[in-house]
């Protein structure tokens, strides 16, 4: 079952929404020193609340999303994300 242990009796899922770089960093600081707490993480958007008006802002927004996901992958390597709360 997707790389989880054989015959799992429980799945521990960290569910988050509207995460930014600051909150992802704080979560990582809290959970990384501890033994693994979760089997996977589900993150629901939005990852950015600003309108993207040009390529520069789009590149910045993509970098922010990548940074958030990288922080969460430090907590648990299986991260599933929905980039927007509207789609």
Per-residue pLDDT tens over the stretch 20-69: 889 999 999 999 999 999 999 999 877 666 677 888 888 888 888 899 99
pLDDT at 1: 44
Sequential DSSP letters for the chain: -TTPPSS-S---EEEEES--HHHHHHHHHHHTTSSP--SEEEEES-S--S---SHHHHHHHHHHHHHHHHHHHHH-S-EEEES-S--
Average confidence (pLDDT) over 3-11: 66
* pLDDT score of 12: 92
Average pLDDT over every residue of 9-17: 89
Q: Using the predicted structure, report yes or no on whether residue 75 has a pLDDT greater than 90.
A: yes
């Amino acid at each position: 079952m997707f790389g989880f242990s054989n015959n799992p009796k429980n799945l521990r899922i960290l569910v988050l929404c509207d995460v930014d770089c600051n909150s992802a960093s704080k979560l990582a600081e809290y959970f990384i020193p501890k033994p693994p707490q979760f089997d996977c993480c589900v993150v629901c958007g939005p990852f950015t609340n600003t309108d993207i008006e040009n390529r520069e802002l789009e590149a910045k927004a993509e970098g922010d999303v990548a940074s958030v996901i990288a922080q969460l992958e430090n907590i648990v390597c299986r991260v599933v994300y929905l980039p927007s709360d509207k789609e």
